[in-house]
Amino acid sequence: SSTTHTSNKTNTLLILTGKGSVRAGIFSRHHLLTTGLEAATALPLVLEAKRRGLAVILFDPNCLGERNGVDVMEASFDHFF
């Protein structure tokens, strides 16, 4: 499949979680359980980006399993950039 890139210059916030067992938008499961959504997830960042009129891309490097994170990120960046 081909990707069509446009010249649309939208300011975009990129959010990436770490490699491991966490899912998109969660920075740490332990931190989530001990401190809550505000400190441990991307939710406050997404809400602030929306308030500022920014687009948001929330990557999930672990979507194909913990061992494929780098491959997923490379494919994602190739698609968007």
What is the residue type of 60?
D
Map residue 30 onto helix, strand or coil.
helix
pTM of the full predicted structure? 0.69
The per-residue pLDDT for range 5-62, each reduced to its tens digit, is 455 668 999 888 766 777 778 888 888 889 888 888 889 999 999 999 999 988 877 7
Q: What is the pLDDT of residue 4?
A: 46
C-alpha to C-alpha distance for 34 and 50, rounded to whole angstroms: 27
The per-residue pLDDT for range 56-81, each reduced to its tens digit, is 988 877 777 666 667 777 887 787 77
